[in-house]
Structure 1
Amino acid sequence: MTLKDLFAFSFFVGIIALIIGWFMNLYTVINSAINGAEVTTLFIVRIMGIFIGPIGGVLGYF
């Protein structure tokens, strides 16, 4: 396995992790909205993360 292959694999894993995190963030926003959670700064940033993918991908894990 060359360094190029290792970089490509880690890049692929990172993209998959961001996509999964984005869906987790989307689920959290919908679940919070349905349950009537308070509107906090984190909730607003999570809503922004739906439209700005990398932010939503990272926030999905928190």
Structure 2
Amino acid sequence: MKYNIAEEIKIDGLIKAKISELHNEIHHSILSDRQKEMLRQELKEYQDLQHKNRMIRQVDLLG
């Protein structure tokens, strides 16, 4: 599914906000090791999604 530039910017902003939220939660909260691990896993998923979206945008710009 292709998105227009406004949608891409909105998605990117939402991903960045979620990554920031997860970073804060991991580093500034008192959590059990299991909770931290779950948050780290979710953080990695969002970072992977962010990377994938960047790669798709670059391919679209070149193609």
TM-score (norm 1): 0.51
Equivalences, count: 33
Aligned letter for 2:44?
G
Cα-to-partner distance string for 1:10-60 (whole Å, 9 max, x where unaligned): 000000001111110000001011xxxxxxxxxxxxxxxxxxxxxxxxxxx
1:12 corresponds in structure 2 to 42
Aligned letter for 2:41?
F
Which blocks of at least 5 consecutive residues in structure 1 are unaligned?
A: 34-62
RMSD: 0.6
- What pairs with 1:1-62 in structure 2 (closer than 5 Å)? 1-33=31-63
* d(CA) in 1 for partners of 2:54, 2:34: 30
Q: Tell which has more relative contact order, 1 or 2 (C-alpha 8 A, sep 6+).
A: 1
Query: After the TM superposition, which parts of structure 1 deviate over 6 Å for at least 4 consecutive aligned residues?
Result: none
Fraction of identical pairs, as percent = 3
* d(CA) in 2 for partners of 1:32, 1:11: 32
TM-score (norm 2): 0.50
